[in-house]
Structure 1
Amino acid sequence: MRVVAGLSVLAAALCLARPVAAAEAAPDVPWSAAATTQVVTEERRFTSGDAELAGTLILPRSDKPVAAIVVTHSASSPLGNASLYDHLKATLPALGIAVFTYDRRGSGRSGTKDAGGNFTTLADDAIAAVQSLKSDPRIDAKRIGTWGLSQGGWISPLAASRSGDIAFVISVSAPVVTADVQMIFSSTNHLRANGYPQADIDQMVATRKAVDDYMRGTASREAAQRRVDAAKIKPWFKYLYMGETVRDRAVSGWRKEIENDPLTNLTAVTVPTLVLYGANDAVVPVAESVERLKSVAGRMPEMEVHVVAAADHAMQVSADEKISLDPKYDGTEQADSPEYIAVLTAWLARRGFIAG
């Protein structure tokens, strides 16, 4: 285990910038040598309900079936080739684990109809991805797990609670609070980091609460819209991650999101589960999430929780705080915390998912 952790730190330092180096052909130069791990990259399609989804499998060549990880998406990184997932493609195949990323339904090569905020649909897509890998003789059907960050960290446990085909769960930076609580925490920190006064923060919170109250049926749509109309002219409105028009709660995806308690889904998971947070995460209330996890730890002996020093929401330690909190950089994150990579791969090794 010590050796695996050491290799993981080295991989984090050297490999994260350019993923899947082993899959590329060796350069035609006199000093080139064949890589120890040969990697195959394959485009794949699979069906989930009424949708056909497209993805990419990064598979290490092996003389026996290997474990695999299906990636579930963060809200801002719906494409399988997003930089947020590069570290998995760069690190895990060399350790004997295949990585499967796909475009979320409604994005990229996976059609135009999205899930409408329905986490169950997204979880079922992940289950369908796992099932599509089970039929591949190069993959060990009993060692296929899921990895998800942020919203994906909600989807992965939900999928495992709905399917016996998922052998393990890795949940990264997923708040164990409801989505409305998480968004108020996140938007408050976005405004604070960008120097907005408390009066603006108070207006932002009142705006979000008005919309959330309408979604719960305790306030009117008109009152919520008035709050949004007053806020949408503010320079900080972009940090609310909400539209300018309050949707009918009968069809709103946001209503579906805030009605979902991720702790309920997590406690239904019985397979080995690793929950990771960044100590410097300004998007997720980590301290509150960890406390809620402690309250159920006695019922979840297969769960481990680890808070990574100096890491932000995307498991970055090198990103400037204002850049990491600026919406225009959403989808460009790259995990670069050596501690995160070490903990992740050491846990996989202890659980028997890394090739011996």
Structure 2
Amino acid sequence: MPRRRAARRMVWTLVGALVVTAALAGVVAWQNTYALREEKVSLWHEGKLLQGVLALPERGDGPFGLVVFVHGDGPVDATHETFYRPMWEAFARAGYASLSFSKPGIGGSQGDWLAQSMEDRAEETRAAVAWARGRPDIDGRRIGLWGASQAGWVLPKVAARDPRLQFVIAVSPAVNWLRQGRYNLLAELDRDGATAEEKEAALRRRATTLRLLEREASYSEYRRAVGDVDAMTPARWSFVTRNYRSDATADLRAMGGTPVLLVLAGHDVNVDVAETEAVYREALPPTSLKITRYPGATHSLVDHDVERSQWRLTLTAVFAPRKLYADGFLDGQAAYVTGLGIRKGTA
């Protein structure tokens, strides 16, 4: 009898574990299902095929407004490893589709994103907009751009050349490559509790790097001069050499009256939000600029308390991905595009 009772307990324990596992799997599936219709799309640009995703509202034939996504730094695929989907869903509920292409060399797209300049990225974005205007389910009068971080050097270029764009949403955008790099270096050192000596050493190394960039030194020269190169590969050195002079100020001024939503985070160690706000205010007409601040957010607009805890970040990403973002961020972007209406003079 004791053996039978033990066996029954083991069976029920296994049954309970299976029930819990199934329930958790159901929660994960539900939380990672979005009110969208995703279509895989492709675009030929400069002789290379780009692969992407067009995320349409769950119902209707359109034509829908469109948000074209412009990535930040790094090897980003079309969904940003699903990070974009909560935003796509928010835009879809506002009647907007979302369009995103994987960077060259990522997610099936041809080419190499590290071989691009910001000018290249701007022309690629313009090609995506032109492609979208040719679709009957997209309203060419209601197309705008969304971009984060490094996209701060791309968005103004595109908007300055395309007055038909209805809006730009700039999330934690950079303005000047060199000033942004110095700010990021010191902010991360402060966050990590670096000593004054460690900060001085880091700034000396940065000064050496800048001198090498200015004289267009090779990667081997850089490696000999700096020593420990961290994540600076030959391809990355080429990318930095091509782009380190980037500054968005002139392009911002050339944008004219294109409506801009500037989204700033309170815990941004990548971008100096005070400088960014000052430059945007100086360069853009006050009537075209709206600024939204999220004091509890990090550079990626993830909730700061969630991001600083690896276990919370992982669990939230799996079980409640919409909660990754700072409170109000998703609804705020959707409300912005909803409130714009259609600008006169667009077609």
TM-score (norm 1): 0.75
Q: How does 1:160-199 map to 2 (within 5 A)?
A: 160-176=159-175, 178-199=176-197
> 1:340 corresponds to which residue?
329
- The aligned residue for residue 242 of structure 1 is 232
Q: Which runs of 5+ in 1 are unaligned?
A: 1-13, 23-38, 324-331
CA contact (8 A) 2:50 2:102 kept: yes
Task: Return structure 1 stretches of 4+ with deviation > 4 angstroms.
Answer: 17-20, 218-227, 244-247, 332-335
Q: Matched residue of 2:105: which SS?
A: coil
- What is the identity percentage for the equivalent residue pairs of Structure 1 and Structure 2? 22
1:278 aligns with 2:291: no
* Aligned-residue offset at 1:172: 0.5
1:315-356 Cα shifts (integer Å, max 9, x gaps): 011434486xxxxxxxx9985112322332222122027xxx
CA RMSD of aligned residues (A): 3.1
Aligned-pair CA distance for 1:53: 0.5
Structure 1 counterpart SS, 2:199: helix
- Please tell me whether the aligned partners of residues 118 and 253 of structure 1 are also in contact (alpha carbons under 8 angstroms): yes
CA separation in 2, counterparts of 1:119 and 1:307?
Answer: 26
Report the Cα distance in structure 2 between the residues aligned to 1:119 and 1:342, rounded to whole angstroms: 30
- One-letter code of the match for 1:340? F
Give how far 1:99 is off: 0.8
Q: Summarize the Cα distance change of 1:183–1:319 in structure 2 as closer, same or farther, 3 Å threshold.
A: farther
Residue-by-residue CA offset, 1:53-99 (whole Å, 9 max, x unaligned): 11011112325411011111111351112143222122111221101
Q: Partner of 1:11 in structure 2?
A: none
Deviation at 1:254, TM superposition (A): 1.3
Larger Rg: 2
- Give the TM-score taking structure 2 as reference length: 0.77
Task: State the distance in 1 between where 2:252 and 2:146 align.
Answer: 14
Structure 1 stretch displaced more, 137-146 or 336-345? 336-345
Q: Map 1:32-51 to 2 at 5 A.
A: 39-51=36-48
**2:307, 2:133 → 1: CA distance?**
41
How far off its partner does 1:164 sit?
3.9
Change (3 A) 1:334 1:128: farther
Contact 1:277–1:306 under 8 Å retained in 2: yes
2:54 aligned residue (57, 63, 75): 57
Extract unaligned runs of 5+ from structure 2: 1-26, 311-320, 343-347
* Within-5 A mapping of 1:185-264: 185-217=183-215, 225-229=223-227, 232=228, 238=230, 242-243=232-233, 247=237, 252-264=238-250
Q: Given residue 277 of structure 2, which amino acid in structure 1 is its aligned partner?
A: V
Q: Deviation of residue 109 (structure 1)?
A: 1.0
Partner residue in 2 for 1:269: 255
- SS of aligned partner of 1:319: helix
Tell whether the 8 Å contact from 2:260 to 2:288 is kept in structure 1 after alignment. yes
Matched AA of 1:137: P
Note the 1:64-103 alignment, pairs <5 A: 64-76=62-74, 78-82=76-80, 83-103=82-102
User: Which gives a bigger RCO, structure 1 or 2 (Cα 8 Å, sep 6+)?
Assistant: 1
Normalized per residue, the structure richer in helix is: 2
User: Cα gap change, 1:135/1:222 in structure 2, threshold over 3 Å: closer, same or farther?
Assistant: closer
- In structure 1, the partner of 2:22 is none
Deviation by residue 1:199-218 (Cα, 9 ceiling, x = unmatched)? 22221122122212222239
